[in-house]
Structure 1
Amino acid sequence: MKVKFLSIIFFLISLSQVLAQDFEVAPVTLYFNANPGESQSKVVTIKNHSSEKKSFILSSTDFEITTDGEKRYRPANSTKNSIASWLSISPAFFDLEPNAERQVTVSVQPPTDDDGSRWGAIFVRTTEEKTTFESDAKLSAGITISPRIAIQVYQTAKSNKNLKAKIDQLREIPSEDSTERWFSAIVTNLSDIIIHCKVFLIASNMQTAKEHQYPPVQFDSYPKNTQKIILKMPKGLPKGTYALAAVLDYGSNVNLEGTQMVIQVPK
């Protein structure tokens, strides 16, 4: 009975993986660096892997970033840094035969007086026409929306070099892994553009001056946004007192930022 149950579970998992691959989108992240008034375009390829003809619709949407770095989708043009009004998609609706593919052009044109960062997403969905009897009255034209793939879209003018960020509030937090010690810190983006950040954790023995550096945490920091990051240090340092530093690197032409605390490593 147990074997039969497991077989059913594996079948359902396999089935979900097949259904999830009815269509493919590439790439799923677009980075633009158009200067004010300049237009830039990129191409996205959509492939229909199903055995049936499919109709596709592409629509823009906004997203916000929480302090934990999670994305929360919002309606287009509803957030301060929405890219939706700068964005054009061609074509935004089309049909694809089985195993066929179509290229879609995504263009961004910021206004002449704005060199700040904007971001958002494009949802790619398949649609299924329904009869009038089947259609829900709340759905326009009898179309129901299927599962979607999101294309992340980012724009930062290449002429804007005014980067500014800080890191502080380094502290130890409970670890969910018995082989590691976990620490948190707060990174604040003080500029008007998206900044790619790397944060290194460095432990320096205060008696011997020997340093231990750990792989960085990498992430995008959004304008005027504060984000909590988690830094992990494997257990196993020699016994002693350590100066622990979280060092923020967010560009080759700016100074490093850091925050520090003292920790004890027992036997």
Structure 2
Amino acid sequence: MKNLLISILLLVSTSSVFAQTGITVGPPRTYFIAGPGQQQTQRISISNPSKDYTMELAVSFEDWQYSTYGDNQTFPKGTLATSCAAWLSIPEIYFSLKPEETKMINVNISVPKDYVALDTIPVRTAMMFVTQMNPKTGVNKEGANIRIALRSGIKLYQALPGKNNADIEIEGLKYNKGESQTLELNFSNTGNIWADGQIAVELLNQENGKKTELPSSNFFTMPRDKRIFPIPLPKELENGTYLASVLISYGEKDAVKIGELEFNYEKSN
């Protein structure tokens, strides 16, 4: 008799569409601007694209933060000092979606009247999880019966009304020799609001003038976040002396910060 395994897939905010696993959620990030004693409601869409399968779903709230490398870290509700999970509510915790049905959920935030914002915590966050309660049966590549349950997370942000300043500061840029052959960018969010944007890198071979542009990367940060951002160098890069120019563009006004580094590149054996 084949063993029955239960697999839970965790999908967090990288995309609003998860059709291959049987659910569509959007938007992946939701923002609240509300001060002490204020309430605000945002709407989130959840759809079941299946043509023949009814999904039983449950909604819950947890805490989250970014790691130094930008990975998502989740914690039980109320664990982090930056949590706003206790301020959030929805009309229905449990509901079902018929095949090809879409449901709009009202997510409400209610900031306590006596809330006093700290300069060290200008933004609060939470994660809203939508969990499938009736796992679907399937077979994995080894032939074992499995039951796949979906759990997708939507990031929620709260900030105060008024002037919010997004700011990124580059704190370091270095070349890591050896097997890794990477550039390492260190930067921090020194503003009082979330900041996201793109990182673009250009390498100039100072011996022959050849320019190499690396693929741009997206990043997301919260106030006071410190980030280590490894930048892999192309395997086909020629040996030589290079000038690396790193451009960080961020915020609604596309602010720009630039860092430069001269380094001697030599392929590892």
Asked if TM exceeds 0.5, the reply is: yes
Structure 1 alignment gaps of length 5 or more: 1-11, 129-145
CA distance in 1, matches of 2:67, 2:156: 18
Query: Comparing both structures, which one devotes a greater share of its residues to strand?
Result: 2
Cα 1:208–1:251 shift into 2, 3 Å: farther
CA distance in 1, matches of 2:219, 2:232: 15
Which residue does 2:130 correspond to in 1? Answer: 124
| Matching of residues 32-71 of structure 1 within 5 Å | 32-36=31-35, 37=38, 39-47=40-48, 49=50, 51=52, 54-71=55-72
Give, in angstroms, the shift of residue 110 of structure 1: 4.6
Q: Which has the higher contact order (CA 8 A, sep 6+)?
A: 2
Secondary structure (helix, strand or coil) at the match of 1:193 reads coil
Give, in angstroms, the shift of residue 170 of structure 1: 1.7
Q: Which amino acid aligns with 1:249?
A: S
CA distance in 2, matches of 1:151, 1:249: 24
CA distance in 1, matches of 2:227, 2:203: 22
Give, in angstroms, the shift of residue 74 of structure 1: 0.6
Which residue does 1:196 correspond to in 2? Answer: 196
8 Å CA contact retained: 1:34, 1:108: no
8 Å CA contact retained: 1:116, 1:160: no
Secondary structure (helix, strand or coil) at the match of 2:69 reads coil
Counting aligned pairs with the same residue, the percent is 20
CA distance in 1, matches of 2:253, 2:55: 49
CA distance in 2, matches of 1:170, 1:241: 16
Give, in angstroms, the shift of residue 160 of structure 1: 3.6
Give, in angstroms, the shift of residue 204 of structure 1: 3.3
CA distance in 1, matches of 2:64, 2:205: 43
| Matching of residues 98-247 of structure 1 within 5 Å | 100-110=101-111, 114=117, 116-127=122-133, 147-156=150-159, 159-173=162-176, 181-206=181-206, 211-236=211-236, 240-247=240-247
TM-score, normalisation: structure 1: 0.69
Give, in angstroms, the shift of residue 38 of structure 1: 5.5
Query: Comparing both structures, which one devotes a greater share of its residues to helix?
Result: 1
Cα 1:101–1:40 shift into 2, 3 Å: closer
Residue 80, structure 1, aligned to residue 81, structure 2 = yes
Deviations 1:98-156 (A, max 9, x none): 5544322223355676593222211112336xxxxxxxxxxxxxxxxx54222222344
Q: Which amino acid aligns with 2:128?
A: I
Secondary structure (helix, strand or coil) at the match of 2:86 reads helix
CA distance in 2, matches of 1:266, 1:174: 8
* More divergent stretch after superposition (72-81 vs 101-110): 101-110
CA distance in 2, matches of 1:99, 1:222: 36
Give, in angstroms, the shift of residue 58 of structure 1: 0.5
CA distance in 2, matches of 1:250, 1:34: 20
Residue 257, structure 1, aligned to residue 257, structure 2 = yes
Secondary structure (helix, strand or coil) at the match of 1:77 reads coil
CA distance in 2, matches of 1:164, 1:51: 48
CA distance in 1, matches of 2:60, 2:230: 34
CA distance in 1, matches of 2:129, 2:178: 36
State the Cα RMSD in Å: 3.7
> How many residues end up aligned between the 2 structures?
231
Deviations 1:233-263 (A, max 9, x none): 4355566422223232223658633333212
8 Å CA contact retained: 1:125, 1:149: yes
